[in-house]
Amino acid sequence: MGERKVLNKYYPPDFDPSKLPKGKRGKHNEMKVRMMLPMSVRCKTCGNFMYKGTKFNTLKEDVAGEDYLGIQVFRFYYRCTKCAAEFTMKTDPKTADYVMEHGASRNYEPWREADAAKADAAIQKEEEERGNAMKALENRTLESKREMDLMDTLDEMRSLRARHAGVTPEQALAALAREEFMAQKRSILAQRLDSDEEEEGGGAAGAAGPSGAGLQQQQQQQQQEPAARPQAARAAAAARPGPLVKVVVKPKRKAGADDGAAKRQKQQQEEAEGDEDSGAGGLAGLLGDYGSGSGSGSGGGSP
């Protein structure tokens, strides 16, 4: 049995490749090629959209009389997948792209306009610098300044990232809560300022010229003010903080030292009481002696 997948073929000894029949090509070197759509297109006959990457069996041919710097331009023939209408496109070596010829239209691609604008700006810049050295120097200065600004911005972003690298989620949440609290506080202060301004505006309008009911309301307020003043004073006194009290904490003494001091104090009191008793006794003795002396003297003088 022969080999199913033949890799080597038999060539007879008298084989001459120049005698092989050659395939015939058309006038413009046509050949069938299987390729994919290089862009998304829309058929002009039926309106069907064919997207980039769709595979087709196409016919390729050389475009007679068209080239770019010696590079040959090719044309491709496609057929719509829905209505089988023919549409063609050809290569564009100048922009390394394809150009639609007829039968279909290319879908809008926004990045193509940006690329075209950049290319036009570069060409215009080269034309300006071609015969003007000062313009070229100015453009180089601006370019170097822009690069320096970009480097500074990059360094700042790196330092900021390094600073935030050590921040924990808890710290980030605390910072967000603090920012929210400060925003609420600012809004409350703004509301208070607005209310104060409205009250001042109302007072100025009342002082300009109250009339009728306004006068009566003013008189009622003046009558109610004396009764409300004591209550306001009491409320202010209650809200006012009290005087500061200084607290002195004495160091604790040891138990043995306290007992010795108590004993010494008791002894001093006993000695003081004894001195008082002795002094009273001496005084009584002196008084007794004086009385006895006076008695004897009076007795001796009597008959």
d(CA 119, CA 129): 16
What CA–CA distances, in Å, run from 157 to 152, 162, 173, 249? 9, 9, 22, 57
What is the chain's Cα-based Rg?
Answer: 59
Residue 40 · residue 54 · CB < 8 Å:
no
Phi, psi of 276 (to 5 degrees): -65, -40
Q: Binding site for Zn(2+), residues? A: 43, 46, 80, 83
Cβ–Cβ under 8 Å, residues 44 and 106: no
CA distance 38 to 53: 6
For the beta carbon of residue 264, count every other beta carbon within 10 angstroms.
10
**Residue-by-residue DSSP string for 75-87:** EEEEE-TTT--EE
DSSP assignments along 108-139, one per residue? P-HHHHHHHHHHHHHHHHHHHHHS-HHHHHHH
Per the annotation, binding residues are 43, 46, 80, 83
Contact call for residues 32 and 23 (beta carbons, < 8 A): no
